[in-house]
A and B are shown apart, each in its own frame.
Chain A
Amino acid sequence: MSDEIKESMPFLEVKNLIVEYFTSEQTVHAVNGVSFKLEKGKTLGLVGETGAGKTSIAKAILRILPDVGARIAKGEVWLADENITRISEEEMRKIRGKKISMIFQDPMTALNPVQRVGDQIAEVVSLHNSGTKESFKKRAEEMLEMVGIQKERYGDYPHQFSGGMKQRVVIAIALACNPELLLADEPTTALDVTIQAQVLKLIDNLKEKLNTSMVLITHDMGVVATHCDDVAVVYAGNIVEYGSKEQVFDHPAHPYTIGLFGAIPNLGRDEEWLHPIEGLPPDPSDLPEGCSFHPRCNYTTEECKAGTIDMLATPDGHQCRCIHMDRVLKGEV
């Protein structure tokens, strides 16, 4: 009984997160008040274009933003019943790699080029567990086999592996301590589709086995459709639409989400022309007043250009940051 209640509690909750990067001349508003919840064992997709602030959100959760020139200006991150924005760096270090771990985008740069891959896996294990050198090595070998690499390759260096294999090593490191939360930052963007399918399958299997929750950062709507439970669409550092995958894919209510769907060539349809979103994403050091999407939006009125736009509930119960949602859902423009 008590277990059931625990299961339905959000495992990760991000509340009103604000991340800024600053120089002496300007402040870049990378993340502007992001909130979301994630249950145990579920996957949330964070979708958006380059510079939308997706990676900054993940780095803020793990508190690995650069020491100089970046800060979490506001907001809280709750992991189970602990506010991890408040704890000391020493305590945070115990969480990183153990409770929360991250799969980085580029396997070519995420690994240490002058350390044997096996030792890189064993290092994480030794930091969070007590045991002998042999036991760490054994665990690292298990992890290699789990991600489909022969344990005989323990002593090889990263340059001896292909891109897909390197990404498997990165995944092995991330999963070595059975994390409860996995932050996957474009884990397959640098890979070919057939290898992408292998890697996503692998993450899915491991997730299921360990009941891990995952935040999957991607710009590929197809990956969201096939691997996520919930979706948050990020634009200019803000979540503009948030709901279950079914709600967002079947009834997108924000003009930007609809624009994204229109801009992707769809394998199921034959169409002469694509429907690009006109204009460019805004400069995060100089965001437009009001809704940050208004300069590119077909529904824009005077009200869009000032004040803050709040998240509103859509008819099917998901959230959307657009005051003209009713007109958008009717498809007026």
Chain B
Amino acid sequence: MRPVIEVKNLKKYFPVANGVLHAVDDVSLSIGRGKTLGVVGESGCGKSTLGRTIIHLQEHTSGEIFLHGDDISNLKGKELRKVREKMQIIFQDPYSSIDPRKTVDATIREPLQVSKRYKRNEIDDVTTELMELVGIDNRLRMSYPHELDGGRRQRVGIARALALNPDFVVCDEPVSALDVSIQAQVLNLLKKLQQQRGLTYMFVTHNLSVVKHISDDICVMYLGQVVELCPSKELFKNPLHPYTKALLSAIPSIDIHNPNKPEILKGELTSPINPKPGCRFASRCNFATEACKQPQKLQEISSGHFAACCRVREIQ
């Protein structure tokens, strides 16, 4: 089956004062219909930029992007607008991603009006349907964002993203700003909507328990590059890349009788500006050797399990 989204050798560089910042560097991946790809990594690893670049919120530097097999990499103007209806995004912070001067109704209605797909009287009905879909009471229809709590605001953001029935949705840390009890409500909602509408998600987050819960496949990023890519369960059972191992061991376990022993990494993320060729994790890695100074390719280690580490077979 054709994947909904496919990305080949995608690069996004930002020119900065003292060089070039490699935010996304040579990323290739694909997501099938109704599936969720989780993208994890620490702040500054380029995971949000990847999501935004795919849906053309930012122009890519080079590489190719396909939607349902059609090359959309270089679309502009009218054609891009048409394609955009199929690709939407839910933002991290429901406090700043919604216009504070628009009511719930106006926020959800806006994409419907812009698309010119519906007549004026139809728009009312579709808006009502959308509010029901995401579980916002009709009595809140004329409320402003400041009158809503974070969970409800995020529901408004979800309704707006789903208004034009997209195929592909980038969820950029949609629950990071929410409390745990509310976070569970929103995660369940996203999952239910995916099942009802066959949505394809790219779920960007730094929260590994959330990503395990929601994703079919997981892609681990480090300084703009994919270091490991495999099915979700496989990643947690059998992490291969030294960075993934350290990342997983650092999650504090809630099982008090089986505490995990975190592997403490040296140092911090190095700068993504003018990076040297070779493995970007090498300076913090306990297994680094001379060979790590060569560029690392993502290679299939076992069926469906990719990792970008030249020493991956030796260190298991």
Contact = CB atoms under 8 A, between A and B. Distances in A.
A317 B254 CA distance: 22
A265 B41 CA distance: 18
Interface stretch (B19-27, B56-64, B175-183): B175-183
Interface in A207-248: 219-223, 225-227, 245-246
B265 A194 contact: yes
Nearest to A47: B180
B188 A276 contact: yes
A47 B246 CA distance: 26
A193 B254 contact: no
Contacts of A127: none
Contacts of B164: none
| Residue with the greatest number of chain A CB neighbours at <10 A, chosen from B236, B253, B256, B265 | B256
Interface residues of A, number: 48
Nearest to A51: B179
A266 B259 CA distance: 14
Given A263-B183, A264-B209, A265-B212, A197 B250 contact: yes
A276 B209 contact: no
B184 A274 contact: yes
Given A225-B252, A280-B151, A265 B210 contact: yes
Interface in A275-317: 275-278, 280-281
Given A225-B256, A265-B209, A276 B184 contact: yes
A268 B208 contact: no
A91 B188 CA distance: 52
Given A49-B180, A260-B180, A265-B212, A276 B185 contact: yes
Contacts of A273: 188, 191
Nearest to A250: B256
Interface in B37-51: 42-43
A225 B254 contact: yes
14 contacts: A49-B180, A196-B250, A219-B180, A222-B253, A225-B254, A226-B252, A249-B254, A260-B180, A265-B212, A271-B213, A272-B191, A273-B188, A274-B184, A280-B149
B181 to A, nearest CB: 4
Contacts of A165: 268
Contacts of B210: 265
B51 to A, nearest CB: 18
A124 B270 CA distance: 32
A195 B184 CA distance: 25
A222 B14 CA distance: 37
Given A219-B180, A222-B253, A273-B191, A194 B185 contact: no
Contacts of A198: 264-265
Contacts of A260: 180-181
A233 to B, nearest CB: 12
A222 B254 contact: yes
The 3 A-B pairs of least Cβ separation, nearest first, read: A222-B252, A276-B184, A265-B213
B209 A193 contact: no
By size class, the interface of chain B is 35 or more
B301 interface: no
| Residue with the greatest number of chain B CB neighbours at <10 A, chosen from A198, A249, A250, A278 | A198
A265 B211 CA distance: 9
A285 to B, nearest CB: 15
B151 A267 contact: no
Given A267-B212, A267-B236, A276 B252 contact: no
A272 B43 CA distance: 28
A192 interface: yes
B188 A194 contact: no
B199 to A, nearest CB: 17
B213 to A, nearest CB: 4
B4 to A, nearest CB: 22
A278 B206 CA distance: 25
Contacts of B256: 225, 245-246, 249-250
B197 interface: no
Interface string B205-239: 01011101100000000000000000001001000
B275 interface: no
B234 to A, nearest CB: 13
B268 A162 contact: yes
Interface string B131-173: 0000000000000000001010000000000000000000000
A220 to B, nearest CB: 7
Contact of A266 (B183, B187, B209, B247): B209
A259 B181 contact: yes
A198 B269 CA distance: 13
Nearest to B262: A197
A132 to B, nearest CB: 34
A195 to B, nearest CB: 7
B184 A193 contact: no
Contact of B252 (A220, A265, A271): A220
